């Protein structure tokens, strides 16, 4: 086997989930680019040897990046990765006005792909970007790739098939102009990992109470809960219980849930031990935002537990200012194990 000379630039890198996974596969990360300066310390603490380039892609010029990283055009060893923030295309009911600008990030990333014409292109996003592929610019981008002799794979993948102990559906595109092979993330042959495989005392997570603060780098920190929420959880069946346990309790049932036993049953619910977790969102530290209660302890999952369910290693360092900031970085990340599956496909093809 020839020495692997693959190298990658990670646009919209955030805290480094994609970069870390790609690096673990064996591809050198040259740089991560992000307009959020608060990501820098986390990124550089974990992605060894990579630069962090603080830039807004709308203002970043192709020649600037070419000079900064000594890149060459039509380099078959180069991988360009674009995992742009995806709130605008998400089916989750969020304020789309705040994310209006983000809807054009794929089009901006395309500028760099057209300029450099790398050996490989990777795009990862919410499934909604595929459902609205004309509006998002995806359709036109795929046509450009195909017309420029890239073999293009694009589909929605379930990350629990790639060693991530979580249900999460993600749109993924891998374009390859090195061979005529359509590349897909390399699936794991093992059975899907579950919450029990990674959480619990036997996996290094001591029992703690709501409001527990862990000031070490392990960050087994848990958001506080009001007494009424502690009472709700104490009535919620362990291992997958839901808010229906107290739906008829006039004191405990939230006003928005009274007389409603059909909608939003995951809210205030517990995870199951023997299933992958639900999708880890940016609000996973709050039981009112989904099925984010611990399978048996009366609390939400901790920051580190959320990170592990995203497949970050336990020694991954998060340098952030608050629980909310850390959770946002973790919830928005590409699960590293899934990124590794993408990286393996590229490396196998290159060899």
Please choose, from the candidates 15, 125, 19, 85, the residue with its C-alpha nearest in 3D space to the C-alpha of residue 339: 19
Does the active-site annotation cover 13?
no
**CA-CA distance, 233 to 295, in Å (whole number)?**
10
**CA-CA distance, 58 to 82, in Å (whole number)?**
14
**CA-CA distance, 260 to 203, in Å (whole number)?**
37
End-to-end CA distance of the chain: 7
Buried b (16+ CB within 10 A) or exposed e, 47-80: beebebbebebeebeeeebeebbebeeeeebbbb
Question: Around Cβ 261, how many Cβ atoms within 10 Å?
Answer: 13
The partner residues of 152 in beta bridges, in order of sequence, read: 175
Dihedrals phi, psi of 56, to nearest 5 degrees:
-95, 120
Tokens 């830039």 map to which residue? Answer: 55
* Among 13, 39, 83, 86, the one annotated catalytic: 86
Q: Both tokens of residue 21? A: 């996974």
SS3 labels along 167-216: CCEEEEEEEECCCCCCCCCCCCCCCCCCHHHHCCHHHCCCCCCCCCCCCC
| CB-based contact 311:337 (threshold 8 Å) | yes
The CA R_g of the chain, rounded to the nearest whole Å, is 21
**CA-CA distance, 312 to 332, in Å (whole number)?**
13
Residue 34, burial from CB neighbour count under 10 angstroms (0-12, 13-18, 19+): buried
Please choose, from the candidates 282, 333, 285, the residue with its C-alpha nearest in 3D space to the C-alpha of residue 311: 333
Catalytic residues: 86
């Amino acid at each position: 086997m020839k020495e692997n000379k693959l190298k990658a630039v990670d646009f919209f890198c955030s805290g480094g989930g994609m970069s870390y996974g790609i690096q673990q596969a064996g591809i050198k990360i040259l740089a991560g680019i992000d307009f959020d300066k608060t990501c820098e310390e986390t990124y550089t603490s974990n992605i060894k040897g990579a630069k962090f380039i603080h830039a807004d892609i709308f203002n970043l010029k192709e020649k600037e990046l070419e000079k900064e990283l000594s890149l060459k055009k039509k380099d078959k060893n180069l991988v360009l990765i674009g995992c742009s923030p995806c709130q605008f295309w998400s089916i989750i009911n969020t304020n789309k006005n705040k994310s209006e600008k983000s809807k054009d990030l794929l089009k901006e990333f395309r500028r760099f792909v057209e300029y450099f014409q790398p050996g490989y292109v990777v795009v990862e996003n919410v499934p909604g970007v595929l459902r609205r592929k004309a509006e998002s610019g995806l359709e036109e981008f795929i046509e450009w790739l195909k017309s420029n002799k890239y073999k293009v794979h694009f589909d929605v993948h379930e990350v629990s098939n790639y060693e991530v102990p979580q249900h999460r559906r993600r749109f993924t595109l891998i374009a390859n102009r090195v061979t005529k092979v359509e590349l897909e993330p390399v699936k794991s042959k093992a059975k899907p990992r579950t919450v029990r495989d990674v959480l619990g005392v036997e996996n290094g997570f001591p029992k703690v109470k709501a409001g527990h603060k862990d000031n070490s780098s392990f960050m087994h920190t848990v958001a506080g809960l009001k007494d009424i929420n502690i009472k709700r959880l104490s009535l919620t069946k362990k291992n997958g219980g839901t808010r229906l346990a107290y739906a008829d309790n006039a004191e405990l049932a939230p006003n928005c849930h009274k007389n409603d036993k059909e909608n939003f049953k995951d809210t205030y619910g517990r995870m199951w031990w023997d299933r992958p977790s639900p999708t880890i969102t940016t609000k996973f530290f709050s039981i009112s935002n989904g099925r984010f209660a611990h399978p048996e302890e009366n609390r939400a999952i901790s920051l580190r537990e959320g990170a592990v369910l995203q497949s970050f290693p336990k020694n991954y360092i998060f340098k952030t200012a608050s629980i909310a900031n850390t959770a946002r970085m973790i919830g928005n990340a590409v699960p590293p194990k899934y990124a590794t599956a993408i990286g393996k496909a590229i490396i196998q093809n290159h060899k």
